[in-house]
A and B are shown apart, each in its own frame.
Chain A
């Protein structure tokens, strides 16, 4: 039962254009969402996050949009650069009724982004 899904295994984009990576989730208790980037032979690195009380968060070329009603989030990269070529993971977290995090991230399957020069 995949609670966080990235339905596009790969995405190919031309340098300078926009990259849009999508993520869907099923657990309505998720309240915090993160994107991680992973290069080959390295561990994932944190990219950007968004709380469920927001619908947009921006950091330089990276913007994450959250649509709670659709249980959907997306990562926009503008403009895309060849150095952005990597695997992108969407992740989600939930807290219990007391506001304590379970300490658990649920990840999607990942999307391989290739940015062509």
Chain B
């Protein structure tokens, strides 16, 4: 089944404790992206990647890191999480960077930083 998977689905952590949210897609997509969803703000792009070893900042990259060492994986790293990073996170992928290619979203990761 073609899908985007994220792990963990739910995470409660404390301020400053490094964490990684994994994202994997099995559709051989070149393009991958991370979003966060917050009430009243919709989905905002954190980082995106056009291909392996090619990443760029989205609208809200502060406090986050990403890497794209393999085509299928695009982990989101929070080196020192803070409470304002409490949010619902979505990973997405598509065939290419063109908007004409539908973006497929993962099921989401709900992160709480205490």
Contacts and interface: CB of A to CB of B under 8 A. Distances in A.
A26 B108 CA distance: 28
A107 B44 contact: yes
A117 to B, nearest CB: 27
Interface residues of B, number: 29
Interface residues of A, number: 28
Contact of B90 (A9, A43, A104): A43
B99 A101 contact: yes
A105 interface: yes
Q: Which of A44, A45, A46, A91 has the most CB of B within 10 A?
A: A44
Contact of B56 (A42, A103, A106): A103
Contact of B58 (A36, A49, A89, A104): A104
Q: Which of A102, A103, A105, A106 has the most CB of B within 10 A?
A: A103
A34 interface: yes
A89 B97 contact: no
B50 interface: yes
Interface stretch (B13-21, B35-43, B64-72, B73-81): B35-43
Contacts of B4: 43
Given A43-B105, A43-B108, A103-B56, A32 B44 contact: no
Given A103-B33, A103-B56, A32 B43 contact: no
A110 B108 CA distance: 16
Interface of B: 4, 31, 33, 35, 40-45, 48, 50, 56, 58-59, 90, 92, 96-100, 102-108
